[in-house]
Amino acid sequence: MYKDIATPVRTKEILKKYGFSFKKSLGQNFLIDTNILRNIVDHALLTDQSGAIEVGPGIGALTEQLAKRSKKVVAFEIDQRLLPILDETLAPYDNTKIIHEDILKADVKKVMEQEFQGMDDVMLVANLPYYVTTPIIMKILEAHLPIRGIVVMLQKEVAERISAKPSTKEYGSLSIAIQYYTVPEVVMIVPKTVFMPQPNVDSAVIRLTKREKPLVAVKDEDFFFQVTRASFAQRRKTILNNLVGQLEKGKEKKDLILESLQASGIEPTRRGESLSIEEFAALSDALYVYFKK
């Protein structure tokens, strides 16, 4: 039997053997608790016919657990220093492949076509570096990849923002963007003590189950997201003032913005955080006529 990678002793052994030092700039925090890793994989609901995409495998702690439960794991690793370590730690698992590339620059769709042929169940499962959590999730969702969903470890505060409901302080354009594509649920809270080195914040695992179609139908997705971002630009401002200040030629078109708000049944004095995603959809479609056509 191979010893699990994710124990404090084994992790230290591996790091010492390769003289590896953590790079803060890459947000490297390795998990050293096998039970938590198994729990993360449990929440991904994988079978022996599933494919798994991982981002930032580190020394392979989560990769190993994914390899035991899925048909194939493809992991993107940006840090060249980890490649020889992964060669060793994942040697027992012939269903893993490491791609030395930044996932934000990679053609993930092409990789999926090449690596997951004949598999119709693929999940993204990762312990994400905190500094690029949102760009990675948004890239995957906006690419409309054929995946079932995403299970990721991220900052607890970001997980709360992603899953937030209207009229809460956590609710914002990020909540809307991710809920537009997926149904989010926070499935685990993870203390900082199970990482090496310890981060300054607690973490959470969130599961994002992809919707068959987006939550709302809109005339123009990009413009819908533009309107939601504009509406939260300054949280204390009313929706009218934010839109006037943020949309192109907003000041010149103030009357048209007012008209659009009224046509959507939205009081101009409300704040962005009080609007539901459905209200934002109606508003962006009403504004679209004046700002995009």
**Which residues are part of a known binding site?**
29, 31, 56, 77, 102, 127
- Binding-site residues for S-adenosyl-L-methionine, in ranges, read 29, 31, 56, 77, 102, 127
Q: Spell out the residues 6+ positions from residue 192 whose beta carbon is closer than 8 angstroms to its own.
A: 198, 199, 200, 201, 202, 203
Tokens encoding 33: 């608790």
Q: Where are the alpha helices (DSSP H) in the chain?
A: 8-18, 34-44, 61-69, 83-89, 108-115, 133-142, 156-162, 173-181, 221-231, 239-246, 254-263, 277-291
Backbone angles phi, psi at 207, to 5 degrees: -110, 125
DSSP code of residue 123: E
Residues 152, 196, 32: CA angle, nearest 5 degrees: 65
Q: Which of 124, 140, 21, 38 is nearest to 75 (CA)?
A: 124
CB 125 within 8 A of CB 44: yes
Q: Which of 158, 166, 109, 165 is nearest to 134 (CA)?
A: 158
